[in-house]
């Protein structure tokens, strides 16, 4: 029997049943990933039963530790513990594993199954996002309880992760782990399942470095735990390593746990065949025998084991009660902070948010990235929950929050270092930045953003996609948004990015036309609290006169009539971002030629698509003789808005290194070309 304080024979049986349940669930479904869930059953059981601070009766309790299963394919590792802990999963849910409408989809899905803190499956994403969780926990403590001694605050909690070989092979975890070391995230505890198996076989086919040395070099606390002689997890050594990880408060911890995949399956243990396929009836039966269970019985669980495991609910309830009483004391002592927390829990914006927005007078030229920087600063003044930064381009992306200090750990020698600073230096790690911003959003309460050049949104696409899939309020600030960035040339000029990002379902791409649209774009993004990316210009754009043109508040509708045609609508010019002011110029010429022309600014097609068709038809009337889209990017997607006979003014090739003015003219983003194309089409 395992020799741990409080651990009895019933815990051993609970682990045995958990292993068999994993094998049964996959066998029953006919597909899935049994091996790792079998091997890790004792690890997850020990975590959920003895270490993780959680209350299954209140899965959203803000004082809870967070658990992320980075190797999402091993979802049964999590589902069996959610079943054991009483998060609402029952045996029938395990029987419905991977079936339509089940609470147990192949990979854990956030917002679908209680107790799942994030959607995992793309390897690397979980651990990288967990770094965001850990950073968010520190930032929140700074908002609510900055002066409490380390570890003593009700806002102190740990982020636990189980990850696999694949997670640590993916580059995004290297990016995020490096930053986690710099950030001295002592609240992050990672258990790495080093089973030396991935799909193609022995990981040494492709992965031979000393992972422990690498993580030590990142500044992590690393402990190795070998298997027991029989190949089972050495729970006693693991438990000691977990205690050491919890005690380590100034470094993130990596427990490199050696395991044997599919243990104790007689023939398929330590085989890649057990990674992603049912073991087969005979192997499952033999495994049950090895576990001391009845080989005939499927989805077996004895009532005494389940009742015992579910005592974690009582333990969690007790912890929560103690926390609540401390919370009441904290509230009494901190009424202002308590009011802030109350607002953040509700997800409300401060009442002054609209009045805080800067207003820009016409007659000036302002790059939309610069306006965004001013808007961030203005809203930061009323939204202490707003923080973020850039992947080493803060001054270019205008993501600076002045006077707030740099988010860096206690003891950092960097100028302006503040453990609760609002400015995050992500380093040149766009992929991890995206995941970390997601982690902050998932952790809850605060709002963060991450900036880089628009062309490098490609490096963040997996994060944008996960944000969209999870429907979380991640905000990405992408600047230098077209050939308008000029001389840096085609490597830095996004061409296909607007279209590519718009293809992500549930992701809003927001490309404001001028400084006032930027202010309202930010307001909408904050209000909607859904995933969004801003596309902002490097170059100056004229501030549109809102006394003669429609109000920028219309940004909320995604697209709107910015300047109406003089009489009837012959032509509609639909443009986004920097092309809107060019469309306005073209409108003047067309009107002077007697062609009645409307200009529509369309900062966000996704928001526009949400408007009723009556509004959309009114903005883009099919009765117009001609609809023209104007955007300095590939045409893909625009035909929908202009119809078969419309004209697309787009960019179907890469740019070149030259001034923005030169490129806009050369590639046809000029009033003259728009006028010529309209006249040609009308003729």
Ligand X SMILES: Cc1ncc(C[n+]2csc(CCOP(=O)(O)OP(=O)(O)O)c2C)c(N)n1
Number of residues located near Mg ion, criterion CB under 5 A = 5
Per-residue HEC secondary structure of 497-560 comes to: HHHHHHCCCCCEEECCCCHHHHHHHHHHHHHHCCCEEEEECCCEEECCCCCCCCCHHHHHHCCE
- Please report how close the Cβ of residue 261 comes to ligand X at its closest, in angstroms: 6
Q: Which residues are catalytic?
A: 430
Q: Hunting for tokens 């993580």 — which residue is that? A: 215
Site for ligand X contains 269 (CB under 6 A): no
From the list 167-175, 193-201, 232-240, 405-413, the region that binds Mg ion by CB under 5 A is: 193-201
As given in the structure block, the two tokens for residue 138 are: 């520190």
Choose which of 184, 197, 357, 604 interacts with Mg ion (CB under 5 A).
197
Nearer to Mg ion, 197 or 455 (CB): 197
Query: Which does residue 21 touch among ligand X, Mg ion, none (CB within 5 to 8 A, set by kind)?
Result: none
* Residue number closest to Mg ion, CB atom: 165
Pairwise CA distance, residues 399 & 391, whole Å: 10
- 224: how many CB neighbours lie within 10 A of its CB? 15
Q: For the segment 105-164, give every residue that binds Mg ion (CB under 5 A).
A: 164
- Which partner, Mg ion, ligand X, none, binds residue 414 by CB below 5 to 8 Å per kind? none
Nearer to ligand X, 123 or 604 (CB): 123
171 is written with which tokens? Answer: 């580059």
CB of 74 vs ligand X, minimal distance in Å: 5
- The residue whose two tokens read 């899935």 is 32
Residues in contact with ligand X, shown as a per-residue x/- string from 374 to 403 under the rule CB under 6 A: ------------------------------
- Which alpha helices (DSSP H) does 408-480 contain, by range? 430-443, 461-470
Instruction: Pick between residue 238 and residue 532 the one whose CB is nearest to Mg ion.
Output: 238
Give helix then strand counts, H and E, for the chain: 26, 22
Query: One symbol per residue from 244 to 263: x for binding ligand X (CB under 6 A), - otherwise; what is it?
Result: -----------------x--
Nearest CA-CA partner of 583 in 554, 569, 557, 562:
562
Rg, Å, the chain Cα set: 28
How long a stretch of residues is the chain? Answer: 683
Position 356 contacts Mg ion (CB under 5 A): no
218 token code pair: 């990142």
127 vs 525, beta carbon nearer ligand X: 127
Instruction: Write the CB contacts of 611 (distance below 8 Å, at least 6 apart in sequence).
Output: 557, 558
Q: Do residues 601 and 580 lie in contact, with contact meaning Cβ atoms separated by under 8 Å?
A: yes
Report if residue 121 touches ligand X, rule: CB under 6 A.
yes
Q: Return the residue matching tokens 């022995």.
A: 202
Taking CB under 5 A as the criterion, the residue among 140, 156, 165, 283 binding Mg ion is 165
Residue 11 structure tokens: 């815990």
Among 32, 63, 105, 122, binds ligand X (CB under 6 A): 122
222 binds ligand X (CB under 6 A): no
Is residue 195 near Mg ion by the rule CB under 5 A? yes
Closest chain position to ligand X (CB): 166
Site stretch for ligand X (CB under 6 A), options 179-187, 196-204, 222-230, 407-415? 196-204
Is residue 109 at the binding interface for ligand X, with CB under 6 A as the rule?
Answer: no
Which two three-digit tokens encode residue 308? Answer: 């015992």
Tokens 């001694």 appear where? Answer: 149
Is the bond preceding 264 in cis, omega lying within 30 degrees of 0? yes
Residue 126 Cβ, how far from ligand X at the closest point, in Å?
10
Q: Which residue in 96, 184, 197, 260 binds ligand X (CB under 6 A)?
A: 197
Task: State which of residues 28, 46, 49, 74 lies at the interface with ligand X (CB under 6 A).
Answer: 74
Do 383 and 523 touch, CB atoms closer than 8 A? Answer: no
Binding to ligand X (CB under 6 A) within 599-618 occurs at none
Q: Does 198 bind ligand X (CB under 6 A)?
A: yes
Q: Please identify which residue in 165, 234, 283, 514 interacts with ligand X, judged by CB under 6 A.
A: 165
Instruction: Identify which of residues 273 and 530 has a Cβ nearer to ligand X in the complex.
Output: 273
Q: Give every CB contact of residue 247 below 8 A, 6+ residues apart in sequence.
A: none
Which residues from 29-68 bind ligand X, rule CB under 6 A? 36
Rounded to whole angstroms, how far apart are CA atoms 437 and 440?
Answer: 5
Q: For strand 423-425 and strand 386-390, is the pairing parallel, antiparallel, or unpaired?
A: parallel
Between 201 and 219, name the residue whose CB sits nearer to Mg ion: 201
Can you tell me the distance from the alpha carbon of 453 to that of 397, in angstroms, rounded to the nearest whole number? Answer: 7
Positions that interact with Mg ion (CB under 5 A) = 164-165, 195, 197-198
Positions that interact with ligand X (CB under 6 A) = 36, 71, 73-74, 121-123, 164-166, 170, 195, 197-199, 261, 275
């Amino acid at each position: 029997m395992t020799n741990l304080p409080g651990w009895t024979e019933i815990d051993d049986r609970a682990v045995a049943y958990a292993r068999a349940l994993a094998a049964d669930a996959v066998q029953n479904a006919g597909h899935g990933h049994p091996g790792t869930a079998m091997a890790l059953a004792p690890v997850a059981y020990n975590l959920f039963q003895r270490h993780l601070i959680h209350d299954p009766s209140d899965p959203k309790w803000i004082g809870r530790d967070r658990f992320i299963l980075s190797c999402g394919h091993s979802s049964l590792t999590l589902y069996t513990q959610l079943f054991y802990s009483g998060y609402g999963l029952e045996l029938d849910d395990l029987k419905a594993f991977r079936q339509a409408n089940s609470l147990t989809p192949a990979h854990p899905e956030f917002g679908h199954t209680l107790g799942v803190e994030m959607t995992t499956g793309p390897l690397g994403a979980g651990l990288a996002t967990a770094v965001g969780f850990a950073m968010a926990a520190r930032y929140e403590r700074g908002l609510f309880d900055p002066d409490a001694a380390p570890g003593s605050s009700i806002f102190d909690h740990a982020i636990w992760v189980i990850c696999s070989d694949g997670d640590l092979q993916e580059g995004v975890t290297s990016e995020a782990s490096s930053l986690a070391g710099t950030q001295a995230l002592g609240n992050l505890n990672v258990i790495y399942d080093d089973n030396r198996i991935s799909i193609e076989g022995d990981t040494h086919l492709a992965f031979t470095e000393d992972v422990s040395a690498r993580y030590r070099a990142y500044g992590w606390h690393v402990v190795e735990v070998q298997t027991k002689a029989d190949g089972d997890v050495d729970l006693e050594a693991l438990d000691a390593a977990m205690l050491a990880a919890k005690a380590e408060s100034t470094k993130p911890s990596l427990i490199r746990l050696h395991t044997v995949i599919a243990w104790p399956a007689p023939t398929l243990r330590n085989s890649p065949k057990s990674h992603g396929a049912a073991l087969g009836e005979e192997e499952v039966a033999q495994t049950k025998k090895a576990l001391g269970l009845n080989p005939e019985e499927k989805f077996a669980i004895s009532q005494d084991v389940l009742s015992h495991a579910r005592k974690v609910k009582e333990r969690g309830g007790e912890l929560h009660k103690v926390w609540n009483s401390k919370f009441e004391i904290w509230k009494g002592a901190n009424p202002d902070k308590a009011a802030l927390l109350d607002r953040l829990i509700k997800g409300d914006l401060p009442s002054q948010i609209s009045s805080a927005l800067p207003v820009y007078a016409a007659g000036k030229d302002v790059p939309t990235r610069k306006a965004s920087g001013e808007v961030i600063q203005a809203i930061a003044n009323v939204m202490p929950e707003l923080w973020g930064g850039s992947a080493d381009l803060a001054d270019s992306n205008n993501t600076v929050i002045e006077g707030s200090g740099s988010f860096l750990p206690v003891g950092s020698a960097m100028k302006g270092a503040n453990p609760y600073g609002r400015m995050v230096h992500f380093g040149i790690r766009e992929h991890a930045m995206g995941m970390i911003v997601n982690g902050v959003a998932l952790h809850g309460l605060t709002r963060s953003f991450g900036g880089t050049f628009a062309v490098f949104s490609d490096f963040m696409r997996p994060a944008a996609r996960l944000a969209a899939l999870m429907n979380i309020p991640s905000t990405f600030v992408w600047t230098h948004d077209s050939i308008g960035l000029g001389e840096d040339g085609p490597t830095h000029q996004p061409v296909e990015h607007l279209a590519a990002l718009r293809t992500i379902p549930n992701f809003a791409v927001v490309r404001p036309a001028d400084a006032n649209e930027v202010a309202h774009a930010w307001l909408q993004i904050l209000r909607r609290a859904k995933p969004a990316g801003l596309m902002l210009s490097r170059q100056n754009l004229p501030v549109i006169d809102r006394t003669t043109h429609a109000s920028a508040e219309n940004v909320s509708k995604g697209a709107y009539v910015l300047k109406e045609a003089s009489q009837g609508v012959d032509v509609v010019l639909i443009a986004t971002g920097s092309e809107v002011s060019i469309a306005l110029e073209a409108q003047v010429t067309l009107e002077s030629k007697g062609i009645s022309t409307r200009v529509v600014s369309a900062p966000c097609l996704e928001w526009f698509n949400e408007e009723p068709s009556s509004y959309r038809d009114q903005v883009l009337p099919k009765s117009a003789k001609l609809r023209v889209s104007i955007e300095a990017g590939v045409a893909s997607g625009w035909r929908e808005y202009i119809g078969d006979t419309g004209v697309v003014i787009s960019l179907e090739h890469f740019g070149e290194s030259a001034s923005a003015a030169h490129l806009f003219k050369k590639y046809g983003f000029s009033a003259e070309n728009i006028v010529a194309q309209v006249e040609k089409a009308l003729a």
